[in-house]
Amino acid sequence: MPCVADWLNNPFSIVQGIFAQNVPNSDWEKKVTEYFKEKLKENNATNWVPSLNDVPVHYLKPNSLVKFRCMVQDMFDPEFYMGVYETVDPNTNARVLHFGKYRDVAECGPQQEIDLNSSQTVTSERQTFYCVPVPGESAWVKEISFLTDQARVSPSTSYTPSRHKRSYEEDEDMDLHPSKQKEQHMGSGGDIHGCVEPKRLETEASAGHHLISPNCSPPLDLNFPLPGEKGPACLVKVYESWDNFKVNDVLEVYGILSVDPVLSIVNNEERDSSALDPMECMDTAEEQRVHSPPASLVPRIHVILAQKLQHINPLLPACLNEEESKTFVSNFMSELSPVRAELLGFLTHALLGDSLAAEYLILHLISTVYARRDVLPLGKFTVNLSGCPRNSIFTEHIYRIIQQLVPASYRLQMTIENMNHSRFIPHKDYAANRLVSGVLQLASNTSLVVDETQLEQGQLDTTGVHNVTALGNLITWQKVDYDFSYHQMEFPCNINVLITSEGRSLLPSDCQVHLQPQIIPPNMEEYMNSLLTAVLPSVLNKFRIYLSLLRLLDYSISDEVTKAVEEDFVEMRKNDPESITADDLHRTLLVARFLSLSAGQTTLSRERWLRAKQLEALRKVRLQQQKCVNGNEL
């Protein structure tokens, strides 16, 4: 069992020991990283580390080891710090070397002073990332992660051992002080760890929470991309290989938690002094406020280990290349057929008995951008599910079902109000020197459900037009052009977009499937709710593993099959030159790709190609029938 008292509760004692033993050499830093890497491999030790995703900041012991699953929302300028410094006792002239790594504030004893002119001083550089919880992370991901960690966290790792570990949601309901509740009625509410219940905060802005702090005025915006998000924002300080990380990457970091109240005092003094003498500080007051928020609201994590996550599904191994993971994958693949059949049946019921739409929904949910050829993203498969009942709770329930299946998602209601007043595109605020988030700043593999059935007649203003254009670019090119005032910067993305609409969508799509309900339930709410309650949790977990795993598999087409497909396409063109285009070939190949993967096959077979052609033919016939019924194009 890992020794909780040392490396978990008091990591500085470990660092100090390694530093003291190796102080003349510069490889002490590498030895610290190696030590913690080895410790975390022992006996599921990662589950012993408290997570900021689950535990409110004020329950965690300052300077203890913590972990955080997050998305990089912004990247600040690199900062210099004293990696090694020397203190001197003025009375005895005794000198002591200290490490400054993993600290915000240099430490020195009561009878000691820092010798700024010491030849032993080493100035180093670190990179600060502003990180937020993964936008739109599903409740089941949080719950499973919480239960996995909670089962193995020792009470002694908590700052207040007498209190049980609780999730953010529970903590909000139970620990809000009356004074804080008073603030909420004034429209500015929040608690010490930056979590606000959306229903309690009616005036909440669309891009994140506003928190009142005695040290910050006006309120601090935590800059979450999606409205109503919970959890902490953190300043994550990275010491090695920070070039590997970029904005919108999803990371899991292990590091030392810093919530030193001195930071707030220091930052206040800096702001006061710079107000008196602007020449002393190049940063604006606004920039200081945003880049140095109170640690009680935005804690710091000094990273010892960090990794980019392939996915955030807690039911899957984090890295699929390891030996143990390969066993997990092969075991699951052996029972893939019944899982697919059950998922198809489940989605068919959800789509009111339409099995063709359910097939396409599975293909959509396992699609992913696997490569880019010049500007063209390969593998994107945006589906427009038309024929959805207007102003019905049907689309809301379809989203709820998708939410139960994928690790991260968001439902964008395409109303005139939302289009004109929401901030979709992130933009650079030069006064605060930060990237202000927008709804389209999402992590890779997020499912975005655009509900067009909510759209009514009205006028789009300039913002609305920009937002619709941005959505179109996201769908077509899988990129979002962030607004840097003087220029636009292209950020590639990998977002699964499903559009629900009554007629053909106003937005572009790769594939339109017209819904043909076979069942009209008398009570839609009751029908949809009963679907989810009828599925066993173990079966639901298999669906979740199925959809996440298949997106990560490699796929190829042999030369022999490629030649057969080309010949088949030439034959199709001969028989029907008017309606068969290059786009049809591209779409059928995509359908064949995801159809193969959905059956656990990583190469295309003749059988799957024929099945893909059959599905496409059925889909087109259905669209043609609808066109004849309506007398206009869908």
Per the CB < 8 A criterion, the answer to whether 300 and 235 are in contact is yes
Select from 482, 517, 401, 497 the least CA-distant residue to 452: 497
Helices (H) and strands (E) in the chain, counts: 18, 21
The string of pLDDT tens digits covering residues 268-319 is: 655 555 444 444 456 678 888 888 898 889 999 999 999 999 999 999 998 8
Task: Answer yes or no: is pLDDT of 478 > 70.
Answer: yes
What is the Cα–Cα distance from 500 to 505, expressed in whole angstroms? 8
Q: What is the pLDDT of residues 313-344, one digit of tens each?
A: 999 998 887 777 888 999 999 999 999 999 99
More confident residue, 594 or 205: 594
- Name the residue among 275, 70, 58 with its Cα closest to residue 168: 58
Look at the alpha carbons of 261, 267, 269, 272 in this order and tell me if their dihedral is positive or negative. negative
Q: Percent of the chain having pLDDT more than 90?
A: 65
Question: How far is C-alpha 543 from the geometric centre of its chain's CA atoms?
Answer: 20
Strand partners, 258: 300
Higher pLDDT, 171 or 411: 411
Choose the weakest-confidence range: 387-391, 469-473, 538-542. Answer: 387-391
Confidence at residue 267, expressed as pLDDT on a 0 to 100 scale: 60
- Give the pLDDT mean for 597-607: 95
The token pair at 495 is: 């977002």
d(CA 474, CA 564): 34
The tens digit of pLDDT for each residue in 400-449 reads: 999 999 999 999 999 999 999 999 999 999 999 999 999 999 999 999 99
pLDDT of 184 strictly over 70 = no
Residues 77-106 pLDDT 10s: 999 999 999 999 988 988 899 999 999 988
Cα distance between residue 202 and residue 487, in whole Å:
35
Distance CA 566, CA 245 (A): 41
pTM of the model: 0.86
Tell me what pLDDT residue 218 has: 59
User: Tens digit of pLDDT for each residue in 501-526?
Assistant: 999 999 999 999 999 999 999 999 99
Q: Please give the DSSP secondary-structure letter assigned to residue 156.
A: G
pLDDT over 70 at 187, yes or no: no
Strand partners, 500: 385, 451
How high is the pLDDT of residue 326?
Answer: 86
pLDDT value, residue 181: 37
Q: Are 312 and 69 in contact (CB under 8 A)?
A: yes
Q: What is the pLDDT of residue 192?
A: 30
pLDDT recorded at residue 604: 95
Preceding omega of 218 cis (within 30 degrees of 0): yes
Determine the pLDDT at residue 270.
56
Q: Tell the burial category of 468 from Cβ atoms under 10 Å away from its Cβ (0-12, 13-18, 19+).
A: middle
Mean pLDDT of the 393-404 span: 96
Residue for token digits 């929470």?
209
Give dist(CA 340, CA 601) in Å, integer.
13
Instruction: Give the separation between CA 270 and CA 281, rounded to whole angstroms.
Output: 8
pLDDT at 70: 97
Contact residues for 161 (Cβ-Cβ < 8 A; gap 6+): 155
More confident residue, 161 or 119: 119
pLDDT of amino acid 282 = 60
Q: Locate 67 and state its tokens.
A: 């972990």
Q: Note the pLDDT of residue 156.
A: 41
pLDDT greater than 90 at residue 217 = no
Predicted pLDDT at 397 = 95
H/E segment holding residue 565:
helix 559-575
Q: Indicate the average pLDDT of the chain.
A: 85
Shortest CA distance to 316 belongs to which of 53, 148, 545? 545
Q: Tell me the range of 140-154, 245-259, 574-588 where mean pLDDT is highest.
A: 245-259
pLDDT top residue among 44 and 534:
534
DSSP 459-492: ---HHHHHHHHHHHHHHHHSEEEEE-SSSEEEEE
Q: What is the pLDDT of residue 281?
A: 54
Residue 60 to residues 56, 157, 260, 454, Cα–Cα distance (Å): 7, 7, 13, 44
**How many Cα neighbours within 13 Å face the side chain of 33?**
15
DSSP designation for 234: E
The residue-averaged pLDDT of 147-160 equals 53
